Structure 1
């Protein structure tokens, strides 16, 4: 399996491609990383150093890959945070180029907009880009519940309303949706987290314990692993179970370490040989 992954890069810690690439490589995926920024660390620290790349830079890199024949035999294009129109347009151009050379390739997009706690934290032009141009181009999206509601102009709070929002976003273009960090008042236990995967006429939900930490980059790992497992197995339930098991172990190890950054390398066996401690339950 081969992927083109267009995301940020940091030298210290793990977000964007610095979170997604190694787990994918550990499960046997050939990854071609294209960087949108080259920062010292993620911006959550409040200070960072390093350059942002432009859409022109991204296009040049993708063109160079294309000239080597590297866009042939690609299974997926993966993207995450998009910092502006120029980067977004360059990513969409890369998707079109990949699909020209590899017609069966999918575009998997994590539509990073914000969260229920802090709201939308990207510029208005990026909001419009994601909602109006990126999501309709995507085959697979991995929003959190807040982002799903923002894209569809809905307020998903229950399982039923979340499924309705998923159906609405699928009408825009994506055939498969993974909703991360699902929260709903009808759930009896507040100490759990859920993810919901919908594809075809099936919907699956999985529950894991909620751990007391905020781990930057865990969403990037989740999107990458789910995309790879779905392509590899064709099973949304299986991809959901493997991804949830791997990411939970990664978060457990990070919590136990007392460190702020993901223990990405230390948790590598969890990607290759997940404990499979959680089962997906069909809800449709």
Structure 2
């Protein structure tokens, strides 16, 4: 149930979600997100931005996207305080890993998963720094809670331009983990500038698919659902997820664009053709998991643990 709703920036609302009977909410760790099932066929993922120690509620912040697909508009127009809402999760595909120090880079609403991370590393006594960019100060959520910290650099675009990533990332620092969340333009720029950093230090979370992630030839192949004992053809114009649904094989799904990881499925044999924006290069290389909403197969048959 939506127990509370407040404005935290221009075009951004924070929802406080509680169980109707007052039972504790599920435990979670920094970087986790939940699915809000807004109505049939409309499911959206939002990063948790509250305190993991507070088991009375879950909190998310939602930006109204003018060119969105309807999720944020539904939250703003229809999800009033007191309204029931179905929640799935939490799940964590953006976990905070142990490191000697941390560099956080956030763009706009990308600050939401970063907030609990900062609280956690501060409590652990680890050095950290945040560089937080946005269009204007008024549009930057939770600015009041961050602006007084000496560890935080606030970069409103209308005052200071874009974040100077060459200055922020120009020199690799041993033992530092980098966490970045925000629009695709920021993520791509950070990824480019981290090529000289040690492998594995950069951790990103995307809200949308990488441009061109789904490109490539679309040929038919067979998929074997091992547990269901079904073999189906995946035509050029259909996804594994669609074929599984038509065959009565259940797959948990959410974004259906290869960004959230909900439909991640073990691969028993065959060679996946990864077209997602979620798996790391190392996970792709191993070839033992696939996101069935967008990815395909390089081999004639793919055997999945479904």
TM-score normalised over the length of structure 1? 0.34
Q: Give the structure with the larger helix fraction.
A: 1
If asked which structure has higher relative contact order (CA below 8 Å, sep 6+), I would say 1
Q: Give the structure with the larger strand fraction.
A: 2
Q: Larger Cα Rg: Structure 1 or Structure 2?
A: 2
